[in-house]
Structure 1
Amino acid sequence: MREFLMVLLTAAIVTYLATTLVRRLALKVGAMTAVRDRDVHTVPIPRLGGVAMLVGFAAAVLVGRELPYHGQLFAGSPQLWGVLAAASIITLLGAIDDVRELDWLTKLAGQVIAGGVMAFFGVQLVSLPIGGVTYLPEPVMVTLTILVVVVSTNAVNFIDGLDGLAAGVVLISASAFFGWCYLVSSSFDPPNVFSLATFISAALIGVCLGFLPHNFHPARLFMGDAGALLLGLLLAAATISMTGQVEPSSSAGIASAATAILLPVLIPVAILALPFLDILLAVLRRTRAGQSPWKPDRGHLHHRMLDIGHSHRRAVILLYLWSGLIAAGTVSFAYLPAWVSAIGIVCLLVLAIALTWRTAPESSDPPPDRARGRGQASGRAS
């Protein structure tokens, strides 16, 4: 566990320090989030926070290479270098979009290229835990790998609409996924918790922790597309590298054989359930209104939380609660009796619903003059 802490702390400290420098860079190159009708901030705010996140992740990779156990991930395998290369590509794509907006087709092409680079370096789906273990032709698996990257990156970008929201949700998701990967890997024969999935998850936790102090309301810097796309890609890399490694027929350490079969499929979906739900609702809402599914609007989950009457910070914390409830609740079925998990989830669900529909009498947000209009995590959510 000490090596994981080293990776996490390296990513957190470097990201925290780099964010200050990146903010100056954003101001110099004019990477600013303009104020739009659907936004909550009132003055332009610098973005490009994803560049600092990439620096933090790269530092964690370099440190991990020198560690006794994590260093074995680099021995004869280029996978982590492939993830770093893909992360660099997608961060560059997002950074260019943050400075000079790109059209949707160019961004999609960049996401496909990043996913293809990961697959080229061996980070790809090799099997699907469906009906036991299902192997498909390699071109199909590569296509599915790229699809996972595209969906994950856009899911995080969709949820990126309030200060600290995307970074916090990804932090919760990565923490839940790390816990699951660590416990499952410890039941392998022989046990091996130092996997690609656990390394990426630990580094991702550190990146989010290092960025959040700069990004929580009132934010001084937005992560921009550079950050949202990077976080989505790293989540995808962690889930892709783990999916197919868990043998469903083996229920060692798992509460039941049924959960052993279902969890490898459900966990990756559950950790991004909130962004996925936001995408689904947005597509349905816009299609029903006769608009393009990708036409930006002010109907996202975070907008609705504000419309209910929650303050900025309270809305973000409540969405953290919902994200944690889904992610941790799903993971709990692996190691607790089903009835215990179900009771715990129901209790938390009742609490989450009650808190969501109960608005505070006064906002806890700083006054506009103190917040200086800083009010959205990236200003880029579609």
Structure 2
Amino acid sequence: MREYLLTILVAALVTYLLTPAVRSFAVWFGAQAAPRDRDVHVIPTPRLGGLAMFGGLAAALVLAHGLPVMGKVLANADIGTGKALLLSGGLIVLVGIADDRWGVDALTKFAGQVAAAGIFVMQGIQLYQLPLPSGEAMSLPPAYGVPLTVFVVVATINAVNFIDGLDGLAAGVVGIAALALFSYAYLLSFANGLTTLTGSTLTAAVLAGICAGFLPHNFNPARIFMGDTGSMLIGLLLSASTIMLTGTFDPAVIGAYAQMPFWVPILLVPAVAAVPFIDMLLAVWRRTNQGRSPFAPDKQHLHHRLLELGHSHRRAVLIMYFWVALIASCLVGLSTTNSVVLVSSVTIVVAIAGVAVMVGMPRMRRRNPRHASGPAPAPRPRQPV
């Protein structure tokens, strides 16, 4: 655990320290997000925050390979985790830089995402098996494993990209998801007497670190956006941890320990990313029904609807954090304890309380005399860079 904590700290610190320099570079480079009709910011804001996150990723991986225990485990592993993440991450960052500065079409971005997934496959990161209800594992031949791996990578990248619409939203949601993956992998490994030093756990730890390091600069009011450079990078890392996690544990061993239905380890990974995935599916369905392209932008994402309910920018983001954390903690609890009733009961009670607060707070705010006298004054915009 100490080596993981050190890796997380380095990832967060390097990302945090690099972000101001990247912000200055983005201003000089001309990579700024001009306000659009569907946006919530009112002045041009620098992008390219993903460059700082990639720097934190590289620093953390270099440190991990130099640590006494983790370095040996990574050196002897069948999968080149560090090489795969740096090569695929570097490619996706280059595509993101081009998009943040000049804008690229959806087909070009899709090709870059598929190529990044291809690098994963060439380095050994792919789906090799899936758990079955019987407690056994179904082996996936390359004819099925490779396209399924590409699908998971591309879907996760675009799900994170879809939710990147409010200050600090994507970084916080993915950071929580990464912590859930890390907790799940570490606790099950420890409980079953397996090594806790794995590529999937390391990837989740590094992802949590770079999100934590970037969030202070990106939380409302954001001084820099991660842009497609960052959203595609953290989506890529989330998919990498997800894919590697499927081959880390024997389903029979997990079932014997947790005494839970077979679907718990299967649902954990998509559940921690449920909010961006649901938002993505709703957006595709909505735009298709309207006769528009699934990639056509709009202002009807989940976070936009929270703003329409009367929540402030920060409160809308915190509500999204709450639901992701609730889903993630529920699945981690179900996979690491025998008390299904207790975990489910606590989750339901907390969920009901969360809905009550989410719906009732804007109404209480409108009934408050201080807010009923008239419209609130317009916020003073930040000075343009």
What's the TM-score once normalised by structure 2's chain length? 0.92
Aligned to 1:87: 89
Aligned to 1:71: 71
* Aligned residue runs from structure 1 range 168-207, under 5 A: 168-188=172-192, 190-207=193-210
Runs of 4+ in 1 over 6 A off after TM superposition: none
Write out per-residue CA displacement over residues 172-220 of structure 1, whole angstroms, 9 at most, x where no aligned residue.
Answer: 11111110000111244x5200011111111111101100010000000
Aligned to 1:379: none
* Aligned residue runs from structure 1 range 264-275, under 5 A: 264-275=265-276
Displacement of 1:356: 1.4
Distance in structure 2 (CA, Å) of the matches to 1:251 and 1:231: 28
Aligned to 1:380: none
Contact 2:74 2:199 in 1 (8 A): no
1:358 is paired with a residue whose SS is helix
Aligned to 2:301: 300
Decide whether aligned partners of structure 1 residues 233 and 82 sit closer, same or farther in structure 2, where only a CA change above 3 A counts. Answer: same
Aligned to 1:165: 169
The answer to whether residue 217 in structure 2 is matched with residue 214 in structure 1 is: yes
Distance in structure 1 (CA, Å) of the matches to 2:39 and 2:377: 17
Q: Percent identity?
A: 45
The answer to whether residue 338 in structure 2 is matched with residue 345 in structure 1 is: no
User: How many residue pairs were aligned?
Assistant: 370
Aligned to 1:378: none
Displacement of 1:359: 3.2
1:134 is paired with a residue whose SS is strand
Contact 2:187 2:336 in 1 (8 A): no
Distance in structure 1 (CA, Å) of the matches to 2:90 and 2:256: 37
- Between Structure 1 and Structure 2, which shows a larger proportion of helix residues? 2
Contact 1:73 1:80 in 2 (8 A): no
Return the match for 2:239 from 236, 240, 253: 236
Contact 1:118 1:124 in 2 (8 A): yes
Counterpart amino acid of residue 163 in structure 2? I
Distance in structure 1 (CA, Å) of the matches to 2:265 and 2:114: 24
Over the residues paired in the alignment, what is the CA RMSD in angstroms?
1.9
The structure whose Rg is larger is: 2
Contact 1:129 1:244 in 2 (8 A): no
Aligned to 2:249: 246
Distance in structure 2 (CA, Å) of the matches to 1:127 and 1:265: 11
Counterpart amino acid of residue 168 in structure 1? G
1:250 is paired with a residue whose SS is helix
The answer to whether residue 380 in structure 2 is matched with residue 369 in structure 1 is: yes
Aligned to 2:26: 26
Displacement of 1:9: 0.5
1:69 is paired with a residue whose SS is helix
Contact 1:115 1:149 in 2 (8 A): yes
Displacement of 1:370: 5.6
Aligned to 2:158: 154
Write out per-residue CA displacement over residues 216-267 of structure 1, whole angstroms, 9 at most, x where no aligned residue.
Answer: 0000000000000000000001111110222122247743142xx2123101
Displacement of 1:326: 1.0
Is the deviation greater in 130-139 or in 144-153? 130-139
Contact 2:26 2:32 in 1 (8 A): yes
Displacement of 1:296: 0.8
Displacement of 1:79: 2.6
Write out per-residue CA displacement over residues 100-137 of structure 1, whole angstroms, 9 at most, x where no aligned residue.
Answer: 10000000000000011011011111111134201121
Decide whether aligned partners of structure 1 residues 22 and 347 sit closer, same or farther in structure 2, where only a CA change above 3 A counts. Answer: same
Contact 2:98 2:104 in 1 (8 A): yes
Contact 1:15 1:210 in 2 (8 A): yes
Counterpart amino acid of residue 342 in structure 2? V
Contact 1:83 1:123 in 2 (8 A): no
Decide whether aligned partners of structure 1 residues 372 and 344 sit closer, same or farther in structure 2, where only a CA change above 3 A counts. Answer: farther
Contact 1:34 1:44 in 2 (8 A): yes
Counterpart amino acid of residue 290 in structure 2? A
Distance in structure 1 (CA, Å) of the matches to 2:242 and 2:349: 28
Contact 1:30 1:99 in 2 (8 A): yes
2:36 is paired with a residue whose SS is coil
Aligned to 1:332: 333
* Aligned residue runs from structure 1 range 49-60, under 5 A: 49-60=49-60
| Higher relative contact order (CA closer than 8 Å, sequence separation 6+) | 1
The answer to whether residue 48 in structure 2 is matched with residue 37 in structure 1 is: no
Write out per-residue CA displacement over residues 9-68 of structure 1, whole angstroms, 9 at most, x where no aligned residue.
Answer: 000000001101100110011001111111011111110000000000000000001101
2:251 is paired with a residue whose SS is coil
Counterpart amino acid of residue 232 in structure 2? L
The answer to whether residue 99 in structure 2 is matched with residue 97 in structure 1 is: yes
What's the TM-score once normalised by structure 1's chain length? 0.93
Contact 1:127 1:134 in 2 (8 A): yes
Contact 2:177 2:328 in 1 (8 A): yes
Displacement of 1:74: 3.1
Decide whether aligned partners of structure 1 residues 73 and 105 sit closer, same or farther in structure 2, where only a CA change above 3 A counts. Answer: farther
